[in-house]
Amino acid sequence: MATREYSFYPGCSSQKGASSSNYLVSVETMCEELDIKLNTIPDWNCCSASIGYAGGGELPRLTLSARNIALSEEHNPDQEIVATCAACWLSTKEAAERLNDDPDMMAEANIALAEAGLKLTNKTPIRHMAEVLVEDIGFDAIAAKVTKPLEGLKIAGYVGCQTNRPFGIAGESFENPVYLDKMVDALGADSVPDYEKKVQCCGGALAFSEPEKSQELIKGILESAYDHGADMIVTPCPVCQMNVEVYQGQINDTHGTKFDMPVLYYSQLMSVAFGRSAKDAALNGQIIKSKQLEEIAGK
The residues that touch another protein, with contacts defined as CB under 8 A, are: 12-13, 15-22, 43-46, 48-60, 62-64, 67, 108-109, 111-113, 115-118, 161-162, 165-166, 174, 200-201, 203-206, 208-210, 213-214, 217, 246-247, 249-250, 284-287
Closest approach, Cβ 214 to another protein, in A, equals 8
**Closer Cβ to another protein, 159 or 183, answer by number:** 159
Residue with Cβ nearer another protein (132 or 282) = 282
Residue closer to another protein (CB basis): 151 or 208: 208
DSSP H or E stretch at residue 15: none
- CA 222 from centroid of its chain's CA atoms: 19
Identify each DSSP E strand in 131-253 by its residue range: 154-157, 190-191, 232-235
Least distance from another protein to the Cβ atom of residue 259, Å: 14
Q: What is the strand order of the sheet 232-235 is part of?
A: 190-191, 154-157, 232-235, 263-265
The residue (of 62 and 134) whose beta carbon lies closer to another protein is 62
In Å, how far from its chain's centre is CA 5? 19
Query: Between residues 44 and 142, which has the closer beta carbon with respect to another protein?
Result: 44
Pairing mode, strands 190-191 and 4-9: unpaired
Q: How far is the CB of 185 from another protein (least distance, A)?
A: 26
Count of CA atoms in the C-beta half-sphere (13 A) of 239: 24
Q: How far apart are CA 126 and CA 124, in angstroms?
A: 6
Q: Amino acid identity of 262?
A: P
Q: Least separation, in Å, of the C-beta of 135 and another protein?
A: 20
For residue 122, the minimal CB distance to another protein (Å) is 15
Find, among 235, 215, 11, the residue nearest to 126 by Cα.
Answer: 11
- Asked if 218 contacts 207 with a C-beta cutoff of 8 angstroms, the reply is yes
The answer to whether 44 touches 75, Cβ cutoff 8 Å, is: no
CB closer to another protein out of 162 and 191: 162
Question: In the bound complex, what is the minimum distance in angstroms from residue 12's beta carbon to another protein?
Answer: 4
**Judged by CB, which is closer to another protein: 287, or 295?**
287
* Contacts (Cβ under 8 Å, ≥6 apart) of 276: 29, 33, 297
- Taking the complex as a whole, how short is the minimal distance between the CB of residue 52 and another protein, in angstroms? 5
DSSP helix/strand/coil, 82: strand
